Chains A and B, each alone.
Chain A
Amino acid sequence: MKFIAFVSAKGGTGRTTLAANLGVILARAGHRVLALDCDPQNALGTHLGIPPGLRLGIAEGSSPDEIIEYLTAQRGEVPCIPFGTRDRDDLQQAESTLLADSGWLMRRVLDVVPSGTELVLVDTPAGERVWTEHVLEMANVIVGVHLPDAACFATLPVMAAMLERQCRGRELKPAVWHVLNQMEPRSKLARDTEFLMRRHLGERLVPCPVPRDPVVGEAWAQQLPVALHSPTTGAVAALRELSEHLLTPLVDLQRHTAKVCR
């Protein structure tokens, strides 16, 4: 089982959108996928057909049996464990549990994830939050999601420091990738930012940015994954390429990027 965590230093970059939609694409490619929301915004489920306002979730307060039962009842292509709606006090309680017990999240996840799951796509809150830290600790693959703008470029060092801290001392280092989302090729600023980010991140920045496309929002509004809503769009093509890229073993990957760059 592999954990793929979607993180970003700033909000609104598209972590939730990417996690949900990559989940659908990977599931359709034959992988056994699970979506896990560790962001108190509890938004991941809305992409995957879970009604908003549900209390049940990964956060402290639902029993493992409840979650397992809920998972088996789900009919969607990608089973999803929501975060669960929590009020402020619940959240504070949950965070202090996490702070006190560094293995809590891991144990909880292992308790509820169905056996045979290959990939767990995990959504996280923006910035450095307790939840993010704990997700990163379990992650095998970390995907940094960025927008092609100056603000995101400015947060690159913060992000790098956060990842660096996470990876330090770990025996099995996670694979770290960066994705540019909502790319607007027609904007010179966006292209220049991509160029700069590439200089900065090198091969870690995957070669296929995901273009900005209004259908992404439309699909969400209709509670459909984009891959179903408008499968022929450039955004979906990019997501597909991205999904393949994230799973390529490291060695192949380097060769692949070298080829593309030539």
Chain B
Amino acid sequence: MKKAKLLQTPSITFAGGIARAVRLLAMVIAVVTLTLVVLTPLGLREQVSLSGMLFLVALVVTRSRHRLSTLMLMVMAITVSARYLAWRISATMSVESLDLMLSAAMLFAELYAFLILVLGYFQISRPIVRKPLALPADLRDWPAVDVFIPTYNESLEVVRATILAAQTLDWPQDKLHIFVLDDGNREDFQHFANDVGVGYFSRRDNRGAKAGNINAALARTNAPFVAVFDCDHIPTRSFLQLTMGWLVEDDRLAMVQTPHHFYSPDPLERNLRIFKTCPNEGELFYGLIQPGNDLWNAVFFCGSCAVIRRAALVDVGGIAEETVTEDAHTALRMHRRGWRTAFLGVRQAGGLATESLSGHIRQRVRWARGMVQILRVDNPLFGPGLTWPQRLCYLNGLLYFLSGLPRLIFLTAPLGFLLLNAHIFAAEPVMVLAYALPHLTFTLMATSRIQGSFRRSFWGELYETVLSAYIVLPTILALINPRLGRFNVTAKGGLITTSYFDWRIALPFLVLFGLNLTGIAAGLWAASTGRQQLDSVLINVGWATYNLIILSVAIAAAFERQQRRRHARIVLRLPAMVERSYGNTVACELSDLSLSGASLGHAGNEIERGEELHLTLRLGEESLPMPARVVSTKAGILRLELATLSPERERFLVRALFCRADNWIRWADERRLDQPVRSFLDISLCGLRGLIQLVVNSTTSNSTISRRYT
């Protein structure tokens, strides 16, 4: 397995020492040149022509899709940004106290952003597209696997499908043991587990939350591998066959992580109506960052949809219980002990996204707090066992969650000038433009290029904006005292029964929006009365306007749109058959399916509303009829409501819905590459729609603040 080895040793070894020397020399020359380029101060003319030239080069470079040209763009972007920062520090810091304070705050935010940018580029400089590795031909060499499904307070309705799906995993039945780890100690769970024939564990206390739950189960089981699925992550039948190959092959490999895929829209996707058309927040992480981490052997454990080697877990004392992001922390410990981890970018499980924006934010606040806790209690920069790339990858992963304060600074910075008349940049406005515009342009260009189809330009800013106000305090508190805070469970499977505007969650966005709007008005007023220079005003007004756009999208995201369906519908094109009560059959094409209903295209038009019939689906070689009632027959589409299912039928349906190996593979296939301009228009439109909605909503005043879950 030569290829396997290659993948796992990140450093490319060169044959002779000569090659190494040449490489070193080239690097020294490059670094010296770049330092000179970064540090040399230039006048307006020279700065403009230098940036212009670089821009032309960049335009040529981006035409090639080669990896090298991506790397070149990265280096150029870093250089231009560093140049900006050098100028910013050396030539624009004011001495007056208010100015200096604001300027320093802004500089802090800029330096943070730059650090994250550089670390990010490093992290994903060469994403690995890992392929599944074949398992041994002899089934006897396949190891036993324990499947853990931890649950705390989710309803059985959410968890059933996961349990049933786990049972259909393609793995020798005598080597597959499924356990429901019920920290909620619920009778209905125990009954269900007994009925379908899976193991059931519960505990008297909930010490250590999810980590403690898993650790307790580890003590009661013994298979050499443990697959963990959050209770709403439904595995496909091929999950183990695709992931286990690497683990069997390499006995120092501690874990294989696969993407978390959500088949229901998250609140941003639903409320902004971008489901499936625009990559969601997680896609960058699973599409790019984890494959990037894979090169450096720094793939994080994400708590679910992963297989872990028991020996590695035992080696680090089980799942880490000290922080609320036990997953990343556990991976960090494994890396410290010299274990390897891998990422397989094939969606092999589907889950439910959080159902409301507030829930979504709560979940991320937990992540943020946990990651900052790790920064404090087990800082990856220090301590034994890690390679430098690993330290940097972890650092980026952790620092990312400190983005709250810098983001708030960016969102309020133009107000310093517009409202308080403070000068953040003690420089001529044209010089500011001459340095800042290239910096912004190059960052945009390179980032857009790198993120490709996994993230649209400006959406990252939106995601940060939505979180910013909410993670500032928890992260700062966690920085001060990492022991504060408990683990909270993210609510899933709920239903938003009426559309409403969540004023409470939108409040910070509304305040920031109001401030920026006031700032713009004040600035324009000051310019028209001649109290302020027009060019400075325009720069700041432009900036504030950009803030308004992003904030209006955040506001739009707080309009919770109604969810009508109990179960997420999954688009599934399969031939199907309907059998009417007299035995007549009708050929149909299934167009979507859920655990409670189906829509079918059909040509036979004699079927009537309210009719009772049987829907027969064929899954590979098996078929099963399911009793159903016709709810509507409009436009040649037959909508069926499935009757309560027997366990056999439910399992069959779960398999049809979630367990096919290719279930989620083609989910994001039609994604186009990012186009910054188009993306800007899209996001502006989203924001505009949000504002219109806001106006309409506050005039009709039928908004409700109540939040109802079923």
Residues of A at under 8 Å CB distance from B? 185-186, 191, 194-195, 198, 207-209, 211-215, 230-238, 241, 260-262
Residue of A nearest to B589 (CB): A237
Flag whether B603 is at the interface (Cβ < 8 A).
yes
9 contacts between A and B (CB under 8 A): A185-B577, A186-B625, A207-B621, A213-B583, A213-B584, A236-B587, A260-B621, A262-B620, A262-B660
Contacts of A209 in B (CB 8 A): 623
For B577, B579, B583, B621, the residue with the greatest tally of chain A CB atoms inside 10 Å of its CB is: B621
Flag whether B578 is at the interface (Cβ < 8 A).
yes
Partner of A214, one of B584, B604, B623: B584
Contacts of B602 in A (CB 8 A): 232
Report the bound CA distance from A208 to B583 in whole Å. 18
Partner of A234, one of B585, B622, B624: B585
* Chain B 602-622 interface mask (CB, 8 Å, partner A; 1/0): 111000000000101010111
B interface majority secondary structure: strand
B577 touches A211 (CB 8 A): yes
Residue of B nearest to A208 (CB): B618
A213 touches B620 (CB 8 A): no
Flag whether B586 is at the interface (Cβ < 8 A).
yes
Report the bound CA distance from A232 to B625 in whole Å. 19
Residue of A nearest to B616 (CB): A185
A191 touches B623 (CB 8 A): yes
B575 touches A261 (CB 8 A): no
Residue of A nearest to B621 (CB): A198
B578 touches A185 (CB 8 A): no
A261 touches B578 (CB 8 A): no
Flag whether B661 is at the interface (Cβ < 8 A).
yes
Flag whether B582 is at the interface (Cβ < 8 A).
yes
Expressed in whole angstroms, the minimum distance between the Cβ of A199 and any Cβ of chain B is 10
Known: A232-B604, A234-B586. Contact between A186 and B579, CB under 8 A?
yes
B587 touches A232 (CB 8 A): yes
A261 touches B614 (CB 8 A): no
Contacts of A214 in B (CB 8 A): 582-584
Instruction: Report the count of interface residues on B (CB-CB < 8 A).
Output: 26
Expressed in whole angstroms, the minimum distance between the Cβ of B616 and any Cβ of chain A is 5
* Chain B 571-582 interface mask (CB, 8 Å, partner A; 1/0): 000010111001
Contacts of A237 in B (CB 8 A): 575, 577, 587
Contacts of A238 in B (CB 8 A): 577, 587
For residues 532 through 579 of chain B, which have their beta carbon under 8 Å from a beta carbon of chain A?
Answer: 575, 577-579
Contacts of B583 in A (CB 8 A): 212-214
Report the bound CA distance from A209 to B618 in whole Å. 10
Report the bound CA distance from A238 to B614 in whole Å. 17
Contacts of A241 in B (CB 8 A): 575
For residues 32 through 88 of chain B, which have their beta carbon under 8 Å from a beta carbon of chain A?
Answer: none
Report the bound CA distance from A209 to B583 in whole Å. 15
Expressed in whole angstroms, the minimum distance between the Cβ of A226 and any Cβ of chain B is 11
Given contacts A207-B618, A213-B584, A262-B661, 12 further A-B contacts (CB under 8 A): A185-B614, A185-B625, A191-B623, A208-B618, A231-B603, A232-B587, A234-B585, A234-B616, A237-B575, A261-B620, A261-B621, A262-B662
Report the bound CA distance from A186 to B661 in whole Å. 27
Contacts of A233 in B (CB 8 A): 584-587, 604
Report the bound CA distance from A213 to B622 in whole Å. 19
Report the bound CA distance from A213 to B660 in whole Å. 30
Contacts of A262 in B (CB 8 A): 620, 660-662
Report the bound CA distance from A238 to B603 in whole Å. 15
Contacts of B620 in A (CB 8 A): 207, 260-262
Contacts of B577 in A (CB 8 A): 185, 211, 234, 237-238
Report the bound CA distance from A209 to B579 in whole Å. 14
Contacts of A195 in B (CB 8 A): 622
Residue of A nearest to B615 (CB): A185
Contacts of A260 in B (CB 8 A): 620-621
A185 touches B579 (CB 8 A): yes
Report the bound CA distance from A214 to B587 in whole Å. 14
A235 touches B585 (CB 8 A): yes
8 closest residue pairs by CB, A with B: A234-B585, A237-B587, A234-B577, A232-B604, A232-B603, A185-B625, A261-B620, A213-B585
Contacts of B624 in A (CB 8 A): 185, 191
Expressed in whole angstroms, the minimum distance between the Cβ of B585 and any Cβ of chain A is 3
Expressed in whole angstroms, the minimum distance between the Cβ of A203 and any Cβ of chain B is 9
For A186, A212, A241, A261, the residue with the greatest tally of chain B CB atoms inside 10 Å of its CB is: A186
Contacts of A186 in B (CB 8 A): 579, 614, 625
Report the bound CA distance from A185 to B624 in whole Å. 6
Contacts of B616 in A (CB 8 A): 185, 211, 234
Contacts of A213 in B (CB 8 A): 583-585
* Chain B 353-369 interface mask (CB, 8 Å, partner A; 1/0): 00000000000000000
Report the bound CA distance from A231 to B585 in whole Å. 11
Expressed in whole angstroms, the minimum distance between the Cβ of B613 and any Cβ of chain A is 11
Report the bound CA distance from A215 to B579 in whole Å. 12
A234 touches B579 (CB 8 A): yes
Report the bound CA distance from A241 to B574 in whole Å. 13
Report the bound CA distance from A68 to B589 in whole Å. 43
Expressed in whole angstroms, the minimum distance between the Cβ of B42 and any Cβ of chain A is 62
Expressed in whole angstroms, the minimum distance between the Cβ of B581 and any Cβ of chain A is 11
Report the bound CA distance from A116 to B127 in whole Å. 59
Expressed in whole angstroms, the minimum distance between the Cβ of A112 and any Cβ of chain B is 36
Report the bound CA distance from A212 to B623 in whole Å. 14
Residue of B nearest to A186 (CB): B625
Report the bound CA distance from A174 to B585 in whole Å. 33
Report the bound CA distance from A260 to B660 in whole Å. 10
Report the bound CA distance from A63 to B620 in whole Å. 49
Expressed in whole angstroms, the minimum distance between the Cβ of B186 and any Cβ of chain A is 32
Expressed in whole angstroms, the minimum distance between the Cβ of B619 and any Cβ of chain A is 9
Report the bound CA distance from A191 to B618 in whole Å. 12
Report the bound CA distance from A234 to B583 in whole Å. 11
